[in-house]
Amino acid sequence: MTLAKTSLIITTIGSLNKALKEFGMLCSKNDAEFIVIGDKKTTPELSGLFSRYQKEQQFKGGYYTAEQQQLMPFKIVSVLPYNHYTRKNIGYLLAVRNGAEIILETDDDNYPQGNFNFQYSEMVNGNTVSHIGWVNVYRYFTSEHIWPRGFPLDLITTENPKLGELKSVYSPIQQYLANKNPDVDAVYRLVINKELTFNDLDHSVVLNPYSWCPFNSQNTVWFKEVFPLLYLPSTCSFRMTDIIRSYIAQRILWTMDAQVSFGNATVYQERNEHSLIKDFQDEVSGYLNDKKIIQILTNEELKTGNEHIRENLLRCYRILVEKNILQKEELPIVNAWIEDLL
What pLDDT digit, counting tens, does each position of 16-29 carry? 999 999 999 999 99
- Using one digit for the tens of pLDDT, what is the confidence trace for 206-230? 999 999 999 999 999 999 999 999 9
- Is residue 15 within 8 Å of 45, Cβ to Cβ? yes
Helices 309-322 and 241-253: angle between axes, nearest 10 degrees: 130
9: left (phi over 0), alpha (psi -120 to 50) or beta: beta
For residue 328, the tally of other CB atoms under 10 A from its CB is 11
Q: What is the helix (H) or strand (E) element at residue 51, kind and residue range?
A: helix 46-57
pLDDT at residue 1 tops 70? no
Residues with Cβ within 8 Å of 303's Cβ and at least 6 positions away in sequence, in order, are 255, 311, 312
Range 329-333 average pLDDT: 98
Question: Are 1 and 121 spatial neighbours (Cβ–Cβ below 8 Å)?
Answer: yes
**Segment 40-67 mean pLDDT:** 95
User: CA-to-CA distance for 67 and 37, rounded, in angstroms?
Assistant: 11
Confidence of residue 272 (pLDDT cuts 50, 70, 90): confident
Q: What is the pLDDT of residue 2?
A: 42
Asked whether residue 3 carries a pLDDT value surpassing 90, the answer given is: no
Beta pairing partners, 105: 9, 220
pLDDT higher than threshold 50 for residue 336:
yes
314: left (phi over 0), alpha (psi -120 to 50) or beta: alpha
- The domains found in the chain, sorted by start residue, are 1-119 (3.40.50), 121-342 (no CATH)
In the chain, the percentage of residues whose pLDDT exceeds 70 is 99
219-223 and 173-179 as β-strands: parallel, antiparallel, unpaired?
Answer: antiparallel
Q: What is the DSSP letter of 232?
A: P
pLDDT at position 193: 94
- Residue 102, by phi and psi: left (phi above 0), alpha (psi -120 to 50) or beta? beta
**pLDDT tens-digit series, residues 239-249:** 999 999 999 99
pLDDT for res 206:
98
On whether the pTM is more than 0.85, the answer is yes
Q: CA end-to-end span of the chain, whole Å?
A: 29
Nearest to 185 by CA among 257, 287, 86: 287
Computed over its alpha carbons, how large is the radius of gyration of the chain?
Answer: 19
Strands 211-212 and 133-134: parallel
Q: What is the pLDDT of residues 156-197, one digit of tens each?
A: 999 999 999 999 999 999 999 999 999 999 999 999 999 999
* Residue 45: Cβ-neighbour burial (10 angstroms; 0-12, 13-18, 19+): exposed
Q: How distant is the alpha carbon of residue 283 from its chain centre?
A: 16
